[in-house]
Amino acid sequence: MDVLIIGGGVLGLSTAVRLAGGGLSVTVVEPEAGGGGASRAAGAMLGCFGEITAAGLRSDAFAARHALALRTRALWPGWAAELADHGGGDLLNRFGTDVVLNAAGADVVDTRNFAAIEAAVKDAGEEHSVEQGSPWAADLPQQRERPFATLHLPHEGSVPADRLLTALRATALARGVRFVDDAVSEVTVGVGGRLESVVLRSGVRFTPRHAVVAAGAFSRRLAEAVADLPPVMPVVAGVGVSVVVSAPGIGAALGRVVRTPNRAFACGLHAIPRSRDVIYIGATNVVHTDPRAHAPTQDVHFLIECAMRQLPVDVAEAGIVQVQTGNRPVPLDGAPVLGMTAVDGLWFLTGTYRDGLFLSPLLSQQLADAIIGGHTEVPGWEMFGPHRARIGAGDRQTVVDEAVAHSMASGFETDWGLSNYWLRMVKGSFRSALRSVADRIADDAMPVPEVLARIPNQPGLLRLVNDYDKATARAGSGVSG
């Protein structure tokens, strides 16, 4: 075959559709019973602006990623129409998004991120309006979490992730893509550093001209399976839990995407109407060294409790239709991992964290162009190469401060009832623990705060950071933040 794609999530399937549309023979390898990818559990919000943070606006890597998002949004109507020919139907939810600044979060996180979203919207000339409070504040079950302000974004919406995946697979099949229910055990490299073969667990050996690793949070283990491959930016798992609930008219009553700014290391509480009687509620984000298959009970409890207190629809009597667990691909430096490796013919398309589904129309086209024509037109693509030195999320003190702020925000959102004395003690404990961790990282350029904050519970993350920094220093990789 021409191309073997490892991973059957939205990015892998989108790339398969693009390549097959360009006349190449394509096979997708994905264990049907594997699960655990981010795509199937995603809320699939299509937003350029809702994910913006104050910290992100200070980062060159985030600015480059936001530029990708601005380019992608124009592609979605045509992409959705293309997929509609094979069962996609009307994929786009065009009802808009309300970004809510409410009393459940922390001023140092929520207020600054809300202001950053508003500033970016104004700079881009995006249609919007800001309302003090909210038209539905009186309907909140818990008035303690009432909104202070609501930013209305009429052009941001969502897609149903399950229907998108179904449409992508159907389109790929219609274009001749072959699917193999299996997993990769080994990738071999031939003379001259050229991709030689991909071996599956069943023993089947493929010899494609190109192989694309689009396996999300599982990509790091695949990189480790390639002999003599220079270090690839490690991708760990941002475990997210979502629930789908049903009650008569609950989706119609919600009417649009409702979300808070990013907070507590996650993409904020959000609710998305799926039908008249069904809504999707997300999300949590807890970084682990390796993917998890099942939803932690405490995360499900936290999510439902937040939904009951903060959403403008009463979910307390709604029935739980489904609990979903997904593993977001989180690079240590928070930036995507895109492009060909030092092995000629071996590509990576992963590390997109929360943006993979939204960016999929653009990233899949650019990777297909690179494979077919040998070039890509996306400015800044090269800074996200697989073998780069770690792009710093900021200096030591800045990232520690950010990690402490989000750790405290997690507690405020759980409505902890601590006195001022204990709040100072808890905050001081967080700061002491995280500063101690930060001081054990050789480079002053820190990993993203959500990775740093989890090192005390996941010490394997610290080994990944330091081992990667040492390996890239030995290899002489030249892209830095």
Each residue of 317-347: pLDDT tens digit? 999 999 999 999 999 999 999 999 999 999 9
Question: Which tokens hold the place of 403?
Answer: 């990690």
Furthest-apart CA atoms within the chain: distance in Å:
69
Q: Which residues are within 8 A (CB) of 104 and not within 5 positions of it... i.e. 6 or more apart?
A: 144, 145, 260, 269, 306, 309, 310, 412, 413, 415
Report residues of the chain scoring pLDDT below 70: 33-34, 87-88, 141, 379, 476-481
Q: How confident is the model at residue 178, as a pLDDT?
A: 97
Round the CA-based radius of gyration of the chain to a whole number and report it: 22
- CA proximity to 269, closest of 453, 106, 99, 152: 99
State the residue for tokens 């941002």.
Answer: 238
Q: Are 479 and 388 in contact (CB under 8 A)?
A: yes
pLDDT at 477: 47
List Cβ neighbours of 377 (8 Å cut-off, separation of 6 or more): 366, 369
Instruction: Tell me the two tokens of residue 131.
Output: 């309302």
Under 8 Å CB-to-CB from 430, ≥6 apart: which residues?
403, 404, 407, 408
Give the type of residue at 303. L
pLDDT digits (tens, 9 = 90+) for 234-285: 999 999 999 999 999 999 999 999 999 999 899 889 999 999 999 999 979 9
How confident is the model at residue 480, as a pLDDT? 38
The C-alpha atoms of residue 211 and residue 200 are separated, in whole angstroms, by 13
C-alpha–C-alpha distance, residues 456 and 109, integer Å: 22
CA of 21: how far to CAs of 18, 364, 372, in Å? Answer: 5, 12, 11
H or E element that contains 398: helix 396-413
Scan for tokens 């705060």, then name that residue: 449
**Cα gap 244→250, rounded to integer Å:** 12
Q: What is the pLDDT of residue 481?
A: 34
Lookup: tokens for 195: 């991709």
Residues in the chain: 481
Nearest CA-CA partner of 110 in 52, 194, 164, 61: 52
For residue 283, whether the previous peptide bond is cis, meaning omega lies within 30 degrees of 0, is: yes
At residue 106's C-alpha, the angle toward residues 410 and 261, to 5°, is 85
pTM of the model: 0.94
| Partner residues linked to 246 by β-bridges | 278, 319
- Give residue 479's pLDDT: 42
Closest CA to 48 of 97, 106, 110: 97
